[in-house]
Amino acid sequence: MYEFDGIEMKPATLDGLDIGYTKIAAPDLEKVLASHRRFLQGQRGGIRANLKFHDLSFSVLRDAKLAGADLTGAKLNGADLTGADLQGACLFGADLRRANLASANMIRVDLRGASMRGACMARAILNEADLRDGYLMRSKNGDLSPMTTDHGSTELSEVTMVRANLSRAKLSNAFVIQADLRDTDLRGAVFVRADLSGSDLTGCNLEGADLSEANLSGARLDGCILTRALLRNTNLSKASLLGALLDEVDLSMANLSGADLLRRLDNINGVIGETLRLHREWIVTNGHKGSRANLSALDLSGQDLSNLNLSAAILKQASLRGANLAGTVLAMADLSMADLRQAQMPRADLRGACLERAVLYETNLTNVIARPMELRNGQSWPTNFSKARLARGLMAGIDLSNARLDDCDLTQANLQNAVLRGSILTDAVMTMADLRDADWTNADMRGARGLMLPSPAMV
């Protein structure tokens, strides 16, 4: 038993590991947190929170101000840290299993050797976080020995990190098995020798990431941005890379046995011609003859598909980079995770189409019709741009009435005279987007970042 800041602490040995964890009552914990808040504000009497080897299991610490706190080896399993500020905190060797860290600020946090199995870290910010392996050691008779029986690698198995930010994070040797990392920002992250087998990285941005010697066997990387990523001796066996952007990537040293990749056909023009003929027949006969066009996961970059009727066609994960789709009817088509960079699509009909996670950097969408498709049963089917990448898109005059644009990237997009009535733009990135003369009546822009609506004088 000892005292800290006037609070009586009781050490307890847990888990049979002979580690003296300290239990702390809720009122006393609040005193520590209050003292830490004063420390952060530079006020008299403030003391940095020292909660190393404390048992804080299942504690409610929502929105707690713990920036720079020492939580080395702390037990935080099942704790609620939703929205907590942990920037620069030390969580070396901490137990965060099944903890809720959704939307937490964990910039530059030290998570070496931490266990986060089953934790929820959706939308958490972990820029430059250190998740490399690490061991908690103790000295006995002058000899150092591990304090736990763990292997020392950071444990992220079965963790949920949907739309988290892990840019420039260090994850060498980390265990990230069967984790949910969909749409996570992993730009410049270091995954050297990390085990990501069976993980879902759909829609992730891994631009410039180092995946050398990493195990990604059976992982899902559909729609990922892997531009300039390092894949030296990377195990991608049985991984899915459909719709992934692989610009400036050397795959010669990666293990791609059994991996799903973009298909390149020798007789692509003949395949397209026959597919379009059967699709026209399918449309004219209302599905009784012919067959629905399925061009998914095909390399169609640079193809001239202008003024065609591709209604309800399947172009999922296809590469249409630089393709000519001017005036093309793509109503109710599936273009999810398609690569449409620099494609020419002026006046195209996208009513009710699905472009979820599609990449449309610098795409010409001028005067496109993307309002809902009115179905025969009276239902209205909105166009879906959810999580799409539309940075620098030419979208002047586009009709996006009631369209889904949640979580999409509209950085520097030209939306002059666009119709956004009733559209959903929640959590969209709209930095430097040009909205002059746009109609955003009843648009849902909650959480939109970088949004600068024109003043009435500019409209």
Return the pLDDT at 62: 97
* pTM of structure: 0.86
What token pair was written down for 118?
A: 């089953």
d(CA 304, CA 310): 13
Query: Residue 443's closest CA among 409, 420, 417, 410?
Result: 420
Side-chain-side CA neighbours of 32 within 13 Å: the count stands at 24
Return the pLDDT at 454: 64
| 68-91 tens-digit pLDDT | 999 999 999 999 999 999 999 999
Return the pLDDT at 19: 57
Torsion of CA 410, 413, 418, 423, to 10 degrees: 0
Side-chain-side CA neighbours of 337 within 13 Å: the count stands at 26
d(CA 218, CA 250): 20
Return the pLDDT at 152: 57
Return the pLDDT at 136: 60
End-to-end alpha-carbon separation of the chain, Å? Answer: 69
Return the pLDDT at 17: 44
Map out the domains of the chain with their CATH numbers.
267-459 (2.160.20.80)
Return the pLDDT at 16: 39
d(CA 232, CA 251): 8
Torsion of CA 207, 251, 233, 124, to 10 degrees: 20
Walk along the chain (459 residues) and give the pLDDT tens digit of each residue. 333 344 343 433 334 345 578 999 999 999 999 999 999 999 999 999 999 999 999 999 999 999 999 999 999 999 999 999 999 999 999 999 999 999 999 999 999 999 999 999 999 999 999 999 875 645 445 444 445 545 457 888 899 999 999 999 999 999 999 999 999 999 999 999 999 999 999 999 999 999 999 999 999 999 999 999 999 999 999 999 999 999 999 999 999 999 999 988 888 888 899 999 999 999 999 999 999 999 999 999 999 999 999 999 999 999 999 999 999 999 999 999 999 999 999 999 999 999 999 999 999 999 999 999 999 888 999 999 999 999 999 999 999 999 999 999 999 999 999 999 999 999 999 999 999 999 999 999 999 999 887 654 333
Distance, C-alpha 456 to centroid of its chain? 35
Instruction: Provide the 10 A C-beta neighbour count for residue 277.
Output: 13
Contact call for residues 174 and 156 (beta carbons, < 8 A): yes
